Amino acid sequence: MEIEDHYALLLGIHSPWEISSVQLSMTANRVDIVVEYSDTSGVYPECGVLSPKHYDRESRTWRHLHASLPRVQCKTHAVKMLKSHLNGLLNYFHHRISNAVAEGLNSKIQTVKSNARGYRSFEGFRTSILFYCGKLDMLP
């Protein structure tokens, strides 16, 4: 029995999923397991229709388990999804309002937060945000 088969048995992973690699790092006390979806098609969960799969998502990681999740497309349910969101989609074209500016500002604030790796006070954090978002320079 190979190590991949051993881990598949331990974790309860069965077809169409398979473990493609197992990396053991003794220095980091870590075992990384890469799981892949082996079939070329999948069943759409809502209606049970067999559809071709495609990868349009990035690889996900749960602790030491890495996997790329396949997605399937069902034409019937794609139309159903569009119908359920139709009011929101049409509102943009009617009012020309979106939350893109708020999302962009939030992204800038998250960049400031991650670059600093913590602030001693809220006032320091606030000042950094105002400087960064206002495109101000600290130099006189």
Instruction: Give residue-wise pLDDT tens across range 57-76.
Output: 557 777 777 777 666 666 67
Report the C-alpha gap between 120 and 124 in whole angstroms.
7
CB neighbourhood size of 70 (10 A): 19
CA distance 30 to 19: 17
Question: At residue 94, what are phi and psi to the nearest 5 degrees?
Answer: -80, -45
1-17 pLDDT per residue, tens: 688 888 888 888 877 77
For residue 106, the tally of other CB atoms under 10 A from its CB is 11
Tokens of 113: 């937060």
The pLDDT value recorded for residue 80 is: 67
- Model confidence over 105-125: pLDDT tens digits? 899 888 888 888 778 888 888
Of 2, 22, 14, the closest CA to residue 65 belongs to 22
Question: pLDDT for 15-52, tens place per residue?
Answer: 777 888 888 888 888 888 888 877 777 666 667 777 77
Spatial CB neighbours of 72, under 8 Å, sequence gap ≥ 6: 41, 42, 43, 44, 51, 52, 53, 54
pTM of structure: 0.43
Cβ–Cβ under 8 Å, residues 41 and 52: yes
